Amino acid sequence: MFVLSSFDRGDGAPAESRHRRDDSAPAAVAAAAELTEDDMERERRLAIFKDNLLYIEVHNRGGHSYTVALNQFADLTNEEFRARYSGVIRMPEGEEGPEAEGDAPPPPPPPPPHQAVPAPAARPGV
């Protein structure tokens, strides 16, 4: 990486330009790449947050019987929220549960429908 530097001689003459080699460039580029990934994720989360905020504002102006508000999940998409919090238990990748192997027994049949039981006959005098 080369850095262009200018030096003012103080006499009003145009600044003199010199090129010098910057040997810290590989480390700086690697550090910038790491920051870029974090920055990209931060920008993505911010965009999701803005979309969710717009949804909230539009919904709350819509005359519904309820309102919605921001919470700790405001930077998640619907798909991310469902994947994390829907209660579905996912097997770790590469592992299969008994259902996948075909070893799980079939579910029991539903119980027979209930039949109406006739009411006891009314007995006179009781």
Give the chain's domain count. 1
Helices (H), 10-124: 25-61, 78-85, 98-101
Tokens 């994390």 appear where?
84
User: What is the reported pLDDT for 3?
Assistant: 45
Report if residue 64 sits inside a domain: yes
Report if residue 60 sits inside a domain: yes
Q: Quote the CA–CA distance of 110 and 15 in Å, as a whole number.
A: 90
Domain that holds residue 42: 23-96
Report if residue 14 sits inside a domain: no
Q: Spell out the per-residue pLDDT of the chain, length 126, in tens.
A: 444 444 455 555 555 545 555 556 677 677 666 778 889 999 999 999 999 999 999 999 999 999 999 999 999 999 999 888 887 666 677 666 555 555 667 777 766 666 555 666 666 665
Residue 106 contacts residue 98 (beta carbons within 8 Å): no
